[in-house]
Amino acid sequence: MSGYSSGTMERNMVNRRFSWLLFLRQRGRFAGFSLYVSNTTDRNDGFLCYNNGPELPPLDFNTNCLTYGQYVIFYNERVNGTTYPLGYEINSVFTELCEVTVTGCSSSGVYGKNCEACPYNCQGHRCDIINGTCFICTPGWLGPHCDKACPAGYYGLKCESKCVGHCKDSKTCNHTNGLCNNGCDDGWTGLNCTKECPSKTYGPDCVHNCSGQCLRDVACNITTGKCDTGCDFGYTGEFCETECPFGTYGPDCVHNCSGNCLGAVACNRTTGTCDTGCDFGYTGELCETGCSDGVYGVNCSNKCSKGCTDENCDMNCINGCRSSNEGLKCDENS
């Protein structure tokens, strides 16, 4: 029958106790360390991804740092006058690192074990290196993976901006930049379609010019181009772009010329007056009045002969001559 001697058992217990103390001492030296990821060798330029304390860390330790950089910096220190938790090795001048393994993707903008590309709409093309969720979305997008467009009527970073422009056909603005994809609605212009058309222009993006013939020289409707006040004197048509037809005049050409202009010409399309004067036998501002008794001719400018039996004449004495006169105009003595 075999067994351990008392001396052997004591030595084994001492060895185990010594190993345990050595294990605690290693953890105490290790305690309080920090890990930084940086693009330089200066930890202050980097990102603190882990800081141990106050508990003692396991010697077999691993952690995930959700960032990227060129250097992984292990840092530990003991500052004089500082009280540290129980178990920290205060007088330690070194740290025992048996093996350090750094794993990760070789380039930024990727995530996961297979280093898949971050979602397209992650701002800066950066995402969580573990699950691919975006830190911030590019303007116009929402959701963990930035794959949901802004709700209708909103745009920009975090979809916090509200569409304010007048887009064509009353469509909503572009969810990323707030612009109108198909241009402005009739009567509006500007980068975001927020400006009314300048005076005397109308239509989509204000590309059309008003006819300039609206009543009282007011601007046409910025949406339709029509004259809301009606056409100016002498013009008609849907956009007041057409001169009055022959024989008409006034606003929207609603009045008819007298038809008594000299030379059978049309009256003035604006005023209705006869620019050539009145025809034979007519007078008045619009040549609408026949000559009164005793006068005749163009604009009734000629007086009837005193040899007429009465004052009814038209170049000739219509009712004949007095007994002492003869001739067509009764201006000859008999």
H/E element, 116: strand 116-117
**Over the range 180-194, which residues count as b (16 or more CB within 10 Å of their CB) and which as e?**
beebbbbbbbeebbe
CB neighbour list of residue 247: distance below 8 Å, 6 or more residues apart: 256, 257, 259, 266, 267
Mean pLDDT of 312-318: 79
Mean pLDDT of 279-285: 89
**Beta strand 248-249 with 255-256: parallel, antiparallel or unpaired?**
antiparallel
pLDDT band (50, 70, 90) for residue 229: confident
Contact by Cβ (8 Å): 254, 232? no
Pick from 100, 115, 107, 123: nearest CA to 68 = 107
Distance CA 334, CA 323 (A): 8
Where in the chain are the domains? 15-103
Please report where in the chains the tokens 């093996």 appear, as a residue.
99
pLDDT band (50, 70, 90) for residue 298: confident
Distance CA 104, CA 283 (A): 104
Q: Please tell me which residue, 231 or 7, carries the higher pLDDT value.
A: 231
Distance CA 187, CA 205 (A): 7
Q: Please tell me which residue, 54 or 15, carries the higher pLDDT value.
A: 54
Mean pLDDT of 33-46: 93
DSSP state of 268: P
Phi first, then psi: give them for residue 325, nearest 5 degrees: -125, 155
Mean pLDDT of 181-193: 90
CB neighbour list of residue 28: distance below 8 Å, 6 or more residues apart: 56, 87, 88, 89, 92
CB neighbour list of residue 104: distance below 8 Å, 6 or more residues apart: 68, 129
User: What is the overall mean pLDDT for the chain?
Assistant: 86
| pLDDT of amino acid 151 | 96
Distance CA 123, CA 109 (A): 10
pLDDT at 1 over 50: no
